[in-house]
């Protein structure tokens, strides 16, 4: 029996979120349609669809009926039908029971963190909460930034010794994060924020904002979208207060807009990128403008607007060609051809232009520094997913193995998520030998990403 895998987080999740649902099930999103023909699922549409498809596949492989499975896990067969049709969100206990009853070897259990995140994102559309990302929470801080006058910025006392030491620490944490993922660095970063943030805000606000930006980035990497948003907004508040217009634009157009994309709101991402472009038109440099427009291109692609996406990408290329490293702020110098190729690959994947997506993903992986392990894992997995959508299954599995190898040393929710999405693309071909082999490879190659969920 092949074991489908989906990455879970290391125990460091408890640092950022300890609120887990205790309910057995959630109410259905849509009315139930009765009938004898199983509902067609799209495993890549959502984690809930992937979970339902896997439960159905594993159940049918074992020759079980829905009633048989229901008896084994002590629920009605109608609940099994709704789970398999992606009409009901399971709770953790039900996921665990299905994993045991279907001999999934932990494959279903490891989907739980993603299912829980998806549940929270759905709930956030109807109710405010601190544990989830909410698009509307960014509106007032961005307006405050737009209306702020740099002439009225607060004066602050510089302290070179404190700023230098903190900046060095921040650089070290960034380096470890790139290589090992947020699971290794967030505890240290959280300790700095707990003990030193107020001092840094008073003496080195730019460094304080940098710590918060990294904390937000790492919170995303740990699957804590609400915490990431709060970190980013706190950083925006600081730079607004001290009149750092350009870095404020970066937090809006890159950090918060990428988070909006990650949480499924391309409209908000486009609004944020456009606001940052308008608000920095007198201070912006070519490479900074390129990063803002790259996010705008991503938002257009996610909305299916190919023409707008292409126009934005052309502007990004022109901006990069005009940029001079010595004229750019230090915090943007990371963005170059590899990052542009990464942004293009995601755009083309979302637009269904798979030959272009594969070309750009290959380019990104070729140009990336070996130390950027998480980005290598994500881009390689995206390449494999694109190949799977193009029905090049054997090639997709070969590239998928390389993605697993890149992810093997990481404690990263985002990398695990991308590997999971890659496997979801291959789910319709789960009976092919090469897909089964890849599933087993993922299951055995990434043990450090798999930890039992503590109750």
Instruction: Name the token pair of 109.
Output: 């259990």
Same domain, 249 and 145: yes
Which of 251, 282, 313 lies at the terminal end of a domain, its last residue?
Answer: 282
Same domain, 170 and 274: yes
pTM of the model: 0.81
pLDDT, position 124: 62
Same domain, 61 and 113: yes
38 within domain boundaries: yes
136: containing domain: 132-282
Same domain, 113 and 47: yes
69 within domain boundaries: yes
442 within domain boundaries: yes
For residue 234, name the pLDDT band (cuts at 50, 70, 90): very high
2 within domain boundaries: no
Position 394 pLDDT exceeds 80: yes
pLDDT tens digits along 305-333:
999 999 999 999 999 999 998 999 999 98
Q: What one-character-per-residue DSSP string does 387-422 give? A: HHHTT-HHHHHHHHHHHHHHHTT---HHHHHHHHHH
397 within domain boundaries: yes
pLDDT, position 193: 93
Give the number of C-alpha atoms closer than 13 A to the C-alpha of residue 43, restricted to the C-beta side.
24
Same domain, 263 and 193: yes
DSSP conformation class of 165: H
Same domain, 255 and 151: yes
**For the purposes of burial, counting CB atoms within 10 Å of the CB of 311, is it exposed (0-12), middle (13-18) or buried (19 or more)?**
middle
Same domain, 347 and 377: no
Tally of domains in the chain: 4
Position 131 pLDDT exceeds 70: no
Instruction: Name the token pair of 158.
Output: 């510089």
Position 162 pLDDT exceeds 80: no
Closest CA to 110 of 435, 451, 454, 415: 451
Same domain, 213 and 275: yes
Q: How large is the C-alpha radius of gyration of the chain?
A: 22
Residue 70's φ and ψ, nearest 5 degrees, are: -60, -40
Percent of the chain with pLDDT over 70: 85
pLDDT, position 157: 52
Which of 311, 334, 368 lies at the terminal end of a domain, its last residue?
Answer: 368
Same domain, 69 and 148: no
Residue 198's CATH number: 1.25.40
336 within domain boundaries: yes
Same domain, 351 and 398: no
Same domain, 247 and 195: yes
3 within domain boundaries: no
Position 433 pLDDT exceeds 50: yes
User: In Å, what is the CA distance from 244 to each residue of 239, 247, 395?
Assistant: 5, 6, 47
Same domain, 190 and 114: no
Residue 65's CATH number: 1.10.260.40
Which of 341, 368, 395 lies at the terminal end of a domain, its last residue?
Answer: 368
172 within domain boundaries: yes
Instruction: Name the token pair of 176.
Output: 């470890």
């Amino acid at each position: 029996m092949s074991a489908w895998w989906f990455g879970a987080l290391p125990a460091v999740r408890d640092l950022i979120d300890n609120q887990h649902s205790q309910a057995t099930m959630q109410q259905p999103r849509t009315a139930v349609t009765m009938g004898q023909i199983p509902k067609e699922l799209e495993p890549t549409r959502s984690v809930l669809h992937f979970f339902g498809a896997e439960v159905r596949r594993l159940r049918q492989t074992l020759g079980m009926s829905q009633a048989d499975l229901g008896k084994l896990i002590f629920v009605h067969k109608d609940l099994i039908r709704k789970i398999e049709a992606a009409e009901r969100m399971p709770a953790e206990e039900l996921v665990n029971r299905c994993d045991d009853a279907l001999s999934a070897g932990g494959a279903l259990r490891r989907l739980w963190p993603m299912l829980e995140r998806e549940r929270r994102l759905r709930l956030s559309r109807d109710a405010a909460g601190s544990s989830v990302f909410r698009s509307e929470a960014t509106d007032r801080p961005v307006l405050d930034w737009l209306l702020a006058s740099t002439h009225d910025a607060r004066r602050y006392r510089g302290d070179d010794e404190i700023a230098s030491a903190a900046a060095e620490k921040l650089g070290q944490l960034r380096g470890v994060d790139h290589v090992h993922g947020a699971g290794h660095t967030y505890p240290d970063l959280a300790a700095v924020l707990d003990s030193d943030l107020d001092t840094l805000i008073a003496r080195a606000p730019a460094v304080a904002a940098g710590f918060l930006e990294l904390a937000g980035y790492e919170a995303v990497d740990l699957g804590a979208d609400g915490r990431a948003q709060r970190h980013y907004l706190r950083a925006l508040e600081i730079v607004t207060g001290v009149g750092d217009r350009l870095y404020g634009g970066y937090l809006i157009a890159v950090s918060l807009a990428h988070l909006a994309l990650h949480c499924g709101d391309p409209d908000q991402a486009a609004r944020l990128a456009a606001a940052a472009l308008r608000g920095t038109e007198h201070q912006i440099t070519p490479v900074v403008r390129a990063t803002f427009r790259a996010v705008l291109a991503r938002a257009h692609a996610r909305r299916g607007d190919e023409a707008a996406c292409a126009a934005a990408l052309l502007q990004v290329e022109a901006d990069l060609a005009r940029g001079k490293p010595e004229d750019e702020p230090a915090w943007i110098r990371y963005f170059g051809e590899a990052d542009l190729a990464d942004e293009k690959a995601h755009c083309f994947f979302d637009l269904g232009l798979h030959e272009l997506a594969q070309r750009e993903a290959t380019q990104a992986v070729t140009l990336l520094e070996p130390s950027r392990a998480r980005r290598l894992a994500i881009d390689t997995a995206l390449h494999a997913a694109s190949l799977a959508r193009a029905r090049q299954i054997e090639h997709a599995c070969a590239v998928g193995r390389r993605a697993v190898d890149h992810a093997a040393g990481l404690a990263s929710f985002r990398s695990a998520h991308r590997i999971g999405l890659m496997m979801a693309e291959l789910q319709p071909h789960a009976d092919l030998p090469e897909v089964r082999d890849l599933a087993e490879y993922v299951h055995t190659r990434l043990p450090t990403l798999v930890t039992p969920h503590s109750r």
